[in-house]
Structure formats: structure tokens, C-alpha cells
Chains A and B, each alone.
Chain A
Amino acid sequence: MMAALVVLTPFVAAAAGLAVGRNRLLAQRVAVIGTALALALSIGMGVVVWVSGPSVDEWGTIPTGWIPIEVATRADGLGVTVAIMVAAVALCVQIYSTAYMHSDPRYGSFAALISLFTAAMLLVVLADDLIVLLVGWEVMGICSALLIGHHWEREEARSASVKAFVVTRLGDVGLLAGMIVLADLTGSFSISALQTSATASTALTVGLVLMLCGVVGKSAQVPLHVWLPDAMAGPAPVSALIHAATMVAAGVFLVARLHSVYLLSPIALAILAVVAAATMVLAALAALAQDDYKRVLAWSTSSQLAYMLGALAVGGYSAGLFHLLGHAAFKALLFLAAGAIAHAIGTTLLSGMGGLRRTMPMTYLISSLGLAALVGLPPLVGFFSKESVLGAAQEAALHDGPLPAWSAWLVLLAGLVTVLLTAAYATRAWLLAFRGPPRSVATGHDPPPAMRTSLVALAVPTVVLGVLAFTPSVVSGMLDPGGQVAAEPEGVSLHLGTAVISLALVGVGALAAFAEWRRVGQRDPAAGLGRARPVLAEGFGIDRLYDALFVRPLLALSRLVVATDRDVIHAYVRGAGRSARALGGVPHAAQAGHVQGYVTAVLAFVVILAAAGAGAALL
């Protein structure tokens, strides 16, 4: 019951927001109050679950001619925790947007879409049926595409919107196929049924791997990661909510939700581990060379999501989810701060910033906190969550884990390399934006109160959430997946050895960036990459590869189809018309008005008739 209310509240707010969209003040109130209500209801749901345990509510069955869709919601530790996180970040973003989008003429639709998105994400989190989850999943996708294209006057926004939609949809084909395979195995779409009755088999592996396609698309992993950097064409609050904290985390959430089933298939876990390892390193390398601060953060998000998926792949359920929660806090924080910078000086290019520490002190402090959490400095949450991920990988590599040892080693090593790279690019961004001589034309100023509130609100969990590392029972209660599970989740744990190694790597990466910065006279340290820089900057040319392999042939095919329709098929249509007219022209010419012609014709036929008659009479 509570779960349905939690989902419906922002949905109603979205509808109401669309209705009153013209009235800015009213739309602001509807959006903020709606999201606040959703947060309150989520917390209430959390209390209910804490007191009386997890529950599943069924709301009816939709017959499909095959396996019916059971419209059902579940409230358990995992769902409640993630729902609270989603609602909280959404509330911060809504409050932030009232100031950030203050002069935007389309604020009404913007806020309504954010509310709709929130409802869809909550549906994904709280659904107990795979198809119901898919509904939320797809609504999130369309909201994301529409919000990316919010400034649709700009061509880059339009094309980024289409790209995001198409690439994620491509993954969703695999997702749906996987869901159908799994439903065929268990006879139901229900997640509860799947968790209880799944058994290891080839078909299960196939289904799970297919579902990974959707995860890869939604969570911007290699090879479907290409949409996330371009999605930065959307406004900063959109990037914060959708492309840092929530939608991209939905892929991680899905694997977590079905984790007990995934543990039955080492092959699926191995594939996930390989994908995660590749993405971690590739995305971090690309982040090193970007000039746009938001693009740095986008590639960073891809890399951090790979951390979460890597953790889940090695069986570190709590580690992966802990990192998801922490990342939501500090990445949303970083994006909103980037928005504050853009709001102040009008650009998000690192080459156009500099020395903002003096003109925007509060933003400087907040961003430093966020970047430090990203890098993984204690006592911020990023340190604890990243260490728990690396710890889980080490466990699986050294002892028997649910996946082959080589893939666990792969995740561990890639994780360590990425720690170094993360430190490097985060330090670079920090130095270029906040330290050194100012390069921007406009003078920066700290953001207005509404934006500041959200920044502070997100800074709190960034700093404080790390304490969860020391309360395993709370964590296991928070992340309890409900129902019957194959493995008991334990709390997050840290290993001293990996902690020391990763801190050392952080130091190395940060120092390298700092030294390079000093060497090039406090300008872009990425110059030290030399000729590799352009390759990294455009994401190793994967976009160009996709363009050549898929986009150009498709455009050529569509042009061919249009030409065929116009010149071949349509030619028949036009030809039919023209030949009818031409045929008509023949007797038409006979109606030229020449009287003697008419008389000639009449007389000729009379003569023929007479001849026929005479001939008949004579013969």
C-alpha cells in the first residue's frame, strides 16, 4: 500500500505540474511539495518495513495470452533504502531547479518531467514484477531523453537526446528478451517467484546475460556508453538527478535486485566483471582529457558505475550498493556545483575557468568535498565505499567466489588502476577550475540560497555516510532484499592491505596531475598526454566507429527507401494518372469542334450500315 502511494505521489505531482505549468510559482510549489511528500512517504514506508518486515502488495493481474503480468509492489530493505535516496536527491534537485531554471520559459514542463521521472524510478525500485519494472524503466528513458533535449533550440541538445534514447533502447531489446527467457523458465514475471524458484541452467545464464544488455545501456557501460558524455547537453539539475544518482544507477539496482539469481550463473557474472573492468579504465582515461567539466563528470560516472557493477559481479552485494548510495550523494553534489559555476560564469569549459576559489568560496568548498569523495579520501563516504568494493574483489580473487577467479582479479586490478586515474583527473579538474589564475571573462559568485540549500543537503551524506562502514547490521537491514535469498548479505568490510595500496595510488595520481600542472605553468596538465590526448578526448574513437558502422549505412538505406518510394512506387501512381489522361486525349482530340469531321463520321457509319444491309440483302 505504502509502496503504491510512494510511486503515485510524484506521478500526480507531474500531472498537476503539467496542468499548472504556465504559472511558475504554482508549478514550483507543486513540484517541491510533491517530491517532499514522496520523500516523507518513503521514510514512512521505511519505518513500516523496519517494524513489520518486508511485504508484497498485489494490485491485480493483466492477462497477456501467455504469462500474465502481475501488477505488484514490494517493500523491503533494498527498495526502501534506494527509494529514500531517489526521493531525497530528487527533492534537492527540485529545490535547486527553482533557482537554476528561474528564467527558463519552459520551467513548468521541466519540473513536471522531473516529477514523472521520479515516479518512474520509484516504480522500478518498488516493483515486484519484471514487466512493471520495465514500464518504469522505459518511462525513465523517455523522460531522460526529453530532459536532455530541454534546450531544444540547440542542435547538440536535440542530437544528444535522440542518441541517448536510441542507445538505451538498443540495450532494452536485450533486456526484454532476457525477461521473457527468465519468465519462460519460472513461469512467471514476478520477481519474488524468480528469486525463489530460479535454478542454475544454461537458459538462466542466457536470460541473465540478455538482461545485462539493458544494464549496459542504461548504466553507460562499454559498449553502450556513448550516450552519457553527450547527454551533458541537458541542464545541470538533469545531469545531477538522472545521469549521476538515479537513472544510470537503475542498471546497478536491477542486478542488485536479482543478485540472488545472478549468483547462480558464474558466466553472467564473469561477463559483467569483464565489462565493468573495461569500462572503469576506459572511462577514467577519457575523463583525463576532457575540456568540459561536465563531460569529465560524465565519464567519471561511467567509471564509478563500473565500480558498482564490478562489486556486484564479484559477489559484493553490500559493497556495490554502498558505493551506489555514496556515489549518488557526491556525484549529484558535483553536478549541482558545476551548475552553480555555469550559472555564475556562463561556461562549463575547464579552459574557461580558473581561480574560482576566490570568487566562489562556498562552491569551492563543496566541490572540493565532492572531488575528495570521488577520489576516495577518508573520512568521506567515497573512501569507505570504494574500499569495500576493492575488498570484495580481493575476497573473490583470493578465496572462492561466485565467479571465476581470473575475472575477480581483473576487477581488482582494474579497480586499482582506476583509483590512480580517478585521482589524476579529479585533481586536474580541481586545479583547473578552482586554483591558479582566473581565465573566465565573467566574475564568479556563489549561488543563490535555493541552490545553496541543495548543495549543503547533499554535502551532509557525502561526509557522514561513511559511518555505515562500521555498522554492518544496519547495512544488512537497509539492504535486505526481502523474501527468500540464496546468500545472506553481510555488512561492508574493509581490508587494510588494499586500503593502503589504494591510498598510495591516490597520492601518486594526484601528485602526477599536480606536477604536470606546475610544469605547464598552471595550465591544462592533460597537455602532458601529448598525442594521446585527442584520442582520449573523443572516447577512443568509438563514436566514429559506430557512426561508420551503423549510422551511415542506416541513413543511406533510408535515403534509398525514400528514393524508391518517390521514383519507383510513386512513379507508378503518377504514371497511372498520366496514362489515363493520355488515353483520354485520344477521343479528346476528336471533340475539336469541327462540324465537318462530325458529319464525316456520321456519314461513314451510315454508309457502312447501308453496305452491310445491302450486302446481307443481296447475298
Chain B
Amino acid sequence: MNGVELAFVLLGAVALGAGFLVVTTSRIVHAALWLAVCLGAIAGCFLLLTAELLAWVQVLIYVGAVVVLVLFALMLTRAPIGPTPGASRGRVVVAATVAVATGVVLLVTLLAGLGGEVIDLEAVDVGGGEAVGSALFRAWVLPFEALSVLLLAALVGAIVLSRGRGDEDGR
């Protein structure tokens, strides 16, 4: 195992550990914070896979905006600070079964198909700003524009939802 692989293993462990804590901890606010850790570790993984721009976009948007949004939502829905009761045992068991099954299917499929492959990191065109940008605005410009329309729709939707019915038609 070379250095890149070792680093990846460590970062992956951090991400998985943080993710496990997100889905199992009984303190809701701690879950949000563990989510931030997990997303950060993923950003690190991106770096190791030569996706530099993506790593920083991940940090900016996910850790920076999404986590903060989640924390705001938790605050506005009066999430309790202390531990809260989790789901009933039966549901946990069923959910765990389905999750384990999902994981097993995915692992088996991926590893059976592609388990022996190796990424040649030397041959990769590093995903810096120039590389990604030129790909985005040349080959992928149309989906890019569509995406901006989607963002506009989301923005409008968020405003409409947040206004509430009472303000809108004066009922």
C-alpha cells in the first residue's frame, strides 16, 4: 500500500465513522456536526483523487452552506439539545436489514465487476479549475444552463414556501 492509498484509507475511515455517528447518535445537533466532519473527509478523498476544484466546492457548498442550513432548520424546529428517543426496535432492525442488504449487493456487484482495477493517478488530467471549467463550458454547457434554471426554480420555491399562506392571500 503506497502513501496515497494509506491516506485514502484513513480519510475513508473518518468519513465512515462520522457517517455512522450521524445515523445513530441520539443527540440531533451532534448529528449535524458529525455530518460536517463526514463531508469534510469526503472533500479530502476528492483531493486524493485529483479532483481539486471539486474538493473546494464540496467544502464551500456542503460544509459551508448545507450544514449551516441544516443547523438553522434544527434551530427553527426546536430540535432538543439533549438525547431524544430513537425509532422503535422493530423498525431499527428492519432498517438495518435493508441497509445491510443494500450494502452487500452493492459491494458484491462492484467488487466482482471492478475489484481488481487500478487507477493510474499519473495519467489523470488533474481536475483543476482550467480542466473542469473548459469541460463544463464546452461539452456540458447545455446541462449547465438547465441546472441554473433549476436553481432559479428552487429559489422561487423556497421564497414561496417560506412566506406562508397567511401572508399571501390575506385569509
Contacts and interface: CB of A to CB of B under 8 A. Distances in A.
Interface in B88-116: 91, 94-95, 97-98, 101-102, 104-105, 108-109, 112
Nearest to B108: A614
B95 to A, nearest CB: 6
A611 B105 contact: yes
Interface residues on A, range: 10 to 19
B138 to A, nearest CB: 35
B94 A614 contact: no
A610 B105 contact: yes
Interface stretch (A6-14, A553-561, A596-604): A596-604
Contacts of A611: 101, 104-105
Given A603-B102, A604-B98, A607-B102, A596 B91 contact: yes
A610 B48 CA distance: 31
Interface residues of B, number: 12
B112 to A, nearest CB: 6
B43 to A, nearest CB: 28
Nearest to A610: B105
Contact of B101 (A596, A597, A607, A618): A607
B95 A600 contact: yes
A614 B101 CA distance: 13
Contacts of A608: 101
Interface centre among A596, A603, A607 (most CB of B within 10 A): A607
Interface in A569-606: 596-597, 600, 603-604
Interface string A232-262: 0000000000000000000000000000000
B109 to A, nearest CB: 5
B95 A614 contact: no
A600 B88 CA distance: 14
Contacts of B97: 604
B160 to A, nearest CB: 23
Contacts of B105: 607, 610-611, 614
A603 B96 CA distance: 12
Interface in A523-571: none
B108 to A, nearest CB: 6
Contacts of A600: 91, 94-95, 98
B98 A603 contact: yes
Task: Count chain A CB atoms within 10 A of each CB in B91, B94, B98 and give the residue with the most.
Answer: B98
A611 B101 CA distance: 9
A610 B98 CA distance: 12
Contact of B98 (A607, A614, A618): A607
A597 B94 CA distance: 10
Interface in B56-109: 91, 94-95, 97-98, 101-102, 104-105, 108-109
Nearest to B98: A604
Contacts of A597: 91
A77 B24 CA distance: 115
Contacts of A610: 105, 109
Nearest to B91: A596
Nearest to B100: A607
Nearest to B106: A610
B114 to A, nearest CB: 13
A618 B108 CA distance: 9
Contacts of B104: 611
A202 to B, nearest CB: 87
B102 A618 contact: no
Interface in B105-142: 105, 108-109, 112
A443 B35 CA distance: 114
A596 B95 CA distance: 9
Interface string A313-347: 00000000000000000000000000000000000
Contacts of B94: 600
Contacts of B112: 614, 618
A607 B108 CA distance: 12
B100 to A, nearest CB: 10
Nearest to A602: B98
Most buried by A among B95, B104, B105: B105
Contacts of B102: 603, 607
Nearest to B109: A614
Contacts of B95: 596, 600
Contacts of A604: 97-98, 101
Contacts of A596: 91, 95
A578 B145 CA distance: 60
A122 B94 CA distance: 91
Contacts of B91: 596-597, 600
A607 B100 CA distance: 10
A597 B105 CA distance: 21
A432 B97 CA distance: 103
B86 to A, nearest CB: 12
A596 B102 CA distance: 16
A457 B104 CA distance: 116
21 contacts: A596-B91, A596-B95, A597-B91, A600-B91, A600-B95, A603-B98, A603-B102, A604-B97, A607-B101, A607-B102, A607-B105, A608-B101, A610-B105, A610-B109, A611-B101, A611-B105, A614-B108, A614-B112, A618-B108, A618-B109, A618-B112
Given A603-B102, A608-B101, A614-B105, 7 more contacts: A596-B95, A600-B95, A600-B98, A604-B97, A604-B98, A607-B102, A618-B112
Nearest 4 CB-CB pairs, A to B? A614-B109, A611-B105, A607-B101, A604-B98
